[in-house]
């Protein structure tokens, strides 16, 4: 589960099994890059979280996509109180 921010400040939400590989595919603007992200770099990985399985990932992705932009920003900052997931990327960055 991940969220990428593009140069326009827009968020793109997706799921994958290998976040580093998938982020590189998006950054490459190649055939595996999401259409919504092509030509909108630089891209920044602002959120990542692990979920139990593919089914849970799909449900969580839909939940995130239904959030308002303000709530997505709060989710990215780990400030959304009713969130079933936490931003592991933010936690990892704070440990550096």
Q: Which residue has the tokens 């593919």?
A: 54
CATH architecture of 2-95: 3-Layer(aba) Sandwich (3.40)
Q: What is the pLDDT of residue 48?
A: 93
pTM: 0.87
The number of beta carbons lying within 10 Å of the beta carbon of residue 95 is 6
What pLDDT, in 10s, does the model give residues 69-89? 999 999 999 888 888 787 776
Distance CA 17, CA 35 (A): 20
Encode the chain (96 residues) as per-residue pLDDT tens digits: 999 999 999 999 999 999 999 999 999 988 898 889 998 889 999 999 998 899 999 999 999 999 999 999 999 998 888 887 877 766 556 555
Radius of gyration over every alpha carbon of the chain, rounded to an integer in angstroms:
13
Structure tokens that stand for 66 in this block: 């239904």
């Amino acid at each position: 589960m991940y969220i990428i921010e593009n140069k326009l400040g827009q968020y793109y939400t997706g799921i994958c099994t290998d976040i580093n590989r998938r982020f590189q595919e998006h950054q490459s603007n190649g055939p595996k890059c999401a259409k919504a992200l092509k030509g909108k770099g630089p891209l920044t990985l602002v959120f990542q979280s692990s979920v139990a399985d593919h089914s849970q990932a799909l449900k969580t992705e839909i939940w995130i996509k239904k959030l308002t932009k303000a709530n997505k920003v709060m989710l990215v900052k780990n400030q959304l109180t009713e969130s079933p997931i936490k931003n592991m990327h933010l936690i990892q960055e704070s440990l550096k």
